[in-house]
Amino acid sequence: MKRNPIGVLLALIAALALLASACGSDDGADSADEVDSGDTAESTSAESSASAGPLRVGIVAPSASNDLAFTQSIVDAVNAVAGDRELDIAVTDGTFIVEDAAAAIRGYAADGVDLVIAHGSQYGGPLQEIAPDFPDTAFAWGTAVDTFGLPNVAAYTVRADQGGYVNGTLAAQLSESGVLGVVGPIEVGDAKLYVDGFVAGAKAQDPNVTVNVNYIESFSDVALASEAATAHIQNGADVLTGTAQMVVGATGVAGPAGALWFGTQSNQTPLGPDFVVASQVYHWEVVLSEMMAEIDAGTFGGEVYTLTLENGGLVIEFNDGAGADSSVIDGAQATIDGIIDGSITTSDG
């Protein structure tokens, strides 16, 4: 039989491409190895218990585990929880495509993972279909406030407007031009909350400040975020902020242009040690610990958990290296205290 060289070649290319793609997007096991390779691995192996065994946690998230933004916030949080209790962690990241995420969620549930974290508001549809098929698996979904009335689905969300407000007051004080720029993804979820809070904080600090907001309609287009930041700077902005994983494009031009940057979701100081002033950091471990305690007690869902400055789930982390006026930074604590005691209202949220 004559072998068709074209067929062989195509098969080779397809195999190569699939291999590279699969390796690149990290399947659960591979990522779990990576996540577990640090301190977490030591704690989990050292505390290995013969009785109940570790709680198995599967994370499904849209972007890279080290994006210094949304996905990293949940991966860091689960690793933080693993410092206090025994966890067996697996991560499937890079699932911008909802169908891919749905397959991963179902796969974790079918594999007997105890808690499946669907870290993306876009995953709600598939989760609503999958969760009833696995009543003995706990599912967590965020950022969201809807549990679909299912007993094994918990939702988690964040009052991103609170940190946005603090960042906004700081930005208004540090701006010399009186023009601030915001690079947002799509006007939904915690991105909208953060941006609204930032604008409210800036306006509360200085009613005359101009805050230009640009939602670029993408969570992943780095080049577009870069040009949006450039447009802000060309329009006079000297302090920028933004949310979602594409902001690395904006920080890439903010620093060289001499603009200051305020981050959110994760600590973004590594993106600009000399111009990132402060970051609102999501410490999901606060709600994850509560959630896991409920699972231990036999309750798999039904609750909505919220990160706030009050419960310590939101923390403003400052970067001394940005050279911002220390009195301004010190003043931020008063704003934080005001939000916590309710004397400052950040938004309707």
Partner 1 sequence: MWSDFFTTSVIVATLASAVRFATPFLLAALGEAVGQRSGVLNLGVEGVMLCGAFTAYYVRLNPSGWGWAGGMATAILAALAVGLCMGLLYAWMTLVMHAEQGISGIGIFLFGLGATDLLFQKQVGVPLPISGLRPIRIPLLGDIPHVGDILFNHNVLVYLAYVLVPVITLMVNRTTFGLNIRAVGETPEAADTLGVNVNLIRLGAILIGNALAALAGAALVMNTNIFQQNLTAGQGFIAVALVYFGAWRPGGVMAGALLFGLVSSTVLQLKTLGIVSGAASALTAMAPALLTIVVLVIVSRRIGQPSALTRPFDRNA
Output 164 or 252, the one with its CB closest to partner 1: 252
Q: What letters, b where the CB count within 10 A reaches 16 and e where it falls short, cover 92-114?
A: bbbbbeeeebbbbbbbbbeeebb
Q: What is the distance between the alpha carbons of residues 267 and 211, in angstroms, rounded to a whole number?
A: 23
For residue 272, give Cα distances in angstroms to 90, 216, 244, 325.
30, 22, 16, 17
Output 41 or 257, the one with its CB closest to partner 1: 257
What residues between 13 and 42 interact with partner 1 by CB under 8 A? 13-14, 16-26
| In the complex, minimum distance from the CB of residue 230 to partner 1, in angstroms, rounded to a whole number | 6
Q: What is the distance between the alpha carbons of residues 218 and 184, in angstroms, rounded to a whole number?
A: 8
* From 78-86, 111-119, 244-252, 308-316, span contacting partner 1 (CB under 8 A): 244-252
Q: Contacting partner 1 (CB under 8 A), which of 111, 129, 217, 330?
A: 217
| In the complex, minimum distance from the CB of residue 19 to partner 1, in angstroms, rounded to a whole number | 7
Here the tokens at position 164 are 């946005």
Output 157 or 268, the one with its CB closest to partner 1: 268
Contact of 312 with 286, CB cutoff 8 Å: yes
Q: What is the distance between the alpha carbons of residues 306 and 286, in angstroms, rounded to a whole number?
A: 9
Output 56 or 119, the one with its CB closest to partner 1: 119
| In the complex, minimum distance from the CB of residue 6 to partner 1, in angstroms, rounded to a whole number | 6
Contact of 186 with 215, CB cutoff 8 Å: yes
Output 338 or 349, the one with its CB closest to partner 1: 349
Output 68 or 109, the one with its CB closest to partner 1: 68
Q: How many residues bind partner 1 (CB under 8 A)?
A: 58
Handedness of CA 235, 204, 325, 274 (dihedral sign): negative
Q: How many CB atoms lie within 10 A of CB 69?
A: 24
Here the tokens at position 100 are 């891919």
- If one asks whether residue 196 binds partner 1 (CB under 8 A), the answer comes out as no
* From 136-144, 269-277, 285-293, 327-335, span contacting partner 1 (CB under 8 A): 269-277
Mask: binding to partner 1, 171-190, rule CB under 8 A, as x and -? ----------x----xx---
Q: What letters, b where the CB count within 10 A reaches 16 and e where it falls short, cover 159-190?
A: bbbbbbbbbbbbbbbbbeebbbbbbbbeeebb
Q: How many CB atoms lie within 10 A of CB 1?
A: 3
Output 152 or 279, the one with its CB closest to partner 1: 279
| In the complex, minimum distance from the CB of residue 219 to partner 1, in angstroms, rounded to a whole number | 10
Which residues of the shown chain bind partner 1 in the complex (CB under 8 A)?
A: 5-6, 9-10, 13-14, 16-26, 63-64, 66-68, 94, 181, 186-187, 212-218, 220-224, 226-228, 230-232, 234-235, 245-246, 248-249, 251-253, 255-256, 270-272
